[in-house]
Structure 1
Amino acid sequence: MASYPKKGSRGWWQQQIPKLVLAPSFALILLFVYGFIIWTAYISFSKSRMLPNYDLIGLRPYEKLWNSLNWQVALENLAVFGGLYIIICCALGLFLAILLDQRIRIEGGLRPIFLYPMALSFIVTGTAWKWFLNPGLGLEKTMQNWGWESFSFDWLVNPDMAIYTVVIAGVWQTSGFVMAMFLAGLRGIDSEILKAAQLDGAPPYKMYTRIIIPQLRPVFLSAFIVLAHMAIKSYDLVIALTGGGPGNATELPATFMYSYTFTRNQMAVGSASAIIMLMTIAAIIIPYLYSELKEGKNAH
């Protein structure tokens, strides 16, 4: 008689195949993500300079980091850039979402236009805005050639204003993405509530301020998490647009980390700055994930 494989054995293999397929990817993630996070944390307490040195010296690299004038400038720039970046993106994204939510005829054409910048890399965005804002060949030069010879827009080379050019480029790239988040939130609001408010004679601005916008709190929170994360780790946009200059006028924690690790031969200090950035991002994301998981459990 022919022998057939047992159904239990076949079922066991069917359960194990997905695990076997995913195991290499899981192992690589453990090594190259979490493994290197642990390694970076260790290096941040060591004597490492140009090359790794595994002799521990305690918190000295962190003391050197917080006593560094460049790090203080980077934190101040992050406060300016991050604050304006988040506020303007949320305000502009909400405005564009409300505009498109009016069911205008050209909505199908406007949405790709607003979303297109997000499809570009930050390197491309930074390079394009660097050309546009360059006083010698961009907006200032064009306006002067058109006859407005007194027109001046030298923010890119002005140490006091250069950080705002990073804000402009970042907002241009990301506000369309935030618009899509708010538009999805607006389309998810129960229309019966809005109809009831209209029947009660509520004017449009009160409907938005008292009914619609309060119901968008989860979208505001999600937008804040995404934008704050992007602001903290901003590197390529700054490098392409200003190179961290003029001087260190647009230095951010990510550019500080790279320069101290790879160009100033201060690997321990650079690693300490990377750990501070990681802890800041974790302090933002972990409470959000906890609240989401808690709400999910309560819903069940």
Structure 2
Amino acid sequence: MPYTLINLLDLIEIGGQSTCVGSKSGGKERCGNHNLVTDVEKADLILLMMGSGASRKLVRMFLRNLAVFSLCKKNHQGQIEGVVKKWTEHTASTSMFEGTKSTKIPRIWYQTVENLKAELEQAQSLYSSAKTEAQRLKVSLEDARLHGQKAQELAQTTQIEVQRLLAENRSLKTSLTQISQERRVSNLASSKLETQVETLLQAKVELSESNMLLRTECTAAEEQTQTIRLQFATMEDVNSKLREDLEKTQQANLDLDNTVSDLKSGVQGWKNKSIDLEWQVASLEKRLEVSTVSKDSLRGKLTDLRAKFDASKATEKKLTETNATLNLRTREL
């Protein structure tokens, strides 16, 4: 005998199935695998909503979800469409889903309502307890926050005080170091002062000796000054005589310069004559008409002129040296 799916209307009255409503063995028998407790509870809720009345627009959605929760997850989730089709046929033969509510109330309704009431009361009790606990925790939190602020302020104050004490400690250490340094410096200064006092005393003795020597030297210097004054007076007389000699020497130099100028003029004249004679000799040599005697005579004259020219040069050199010597003596005077 083939397996027949449970009627939807019966299922609404009975409630969710604890075992799978799918078929096995080629549709000959019911599966019988246990459904999850949560799936049974969900199926009960869907059946409760359908039993309270639902429009046909929502029926297919309810039926599909009901099939999902009524078939085992292991083997028969593939039979969802067939189960939905069968249950849809069951709804076609009833006016339950035409907008009127069913007069049949499932047996799980009362149990569900009682459970909901109990859960609601329990939830309200838990909410009150939680609210009271929350208020208590809020007060405790506020107290803790105040204590935390006080502790933080105390910690900040303590930290500031510690920093101040550390700063004072550092300042005291610095002052102590400075005092030690100043003490060492004062000791060194005292030693230096003692050394300087000894040096000053020694310098005082040496200064006294130096004063005596200076007095002696001053006396000698005064005597030397008198001697120098006498020598200066003598030098004045000598300078007067030297000035007179210098004037005479300058006059002699002027005369000598005039003589040198005259000699230079004579030498220049001899030079000019020598040039003329040389030119004449050159002209005469070019002329073959001039006789040998005339040439010798002219050459003799030229030789004499050259000798006189050399003598004049020697005289000029000697006068120049004499002039230089006189100038040197003049500078020395």
Per the normalisation by structure 1, the TM-score is: 0.18
**TM value normalised by structure 2:** 0.16
- Higher relative contact order structure (alpha carbons within 8 Å, sequence separation ≥ 6): 1
Q: Where is the helix percentage greater, Structure 1 or Structure 2?
A: 2
Larger Rg: 2
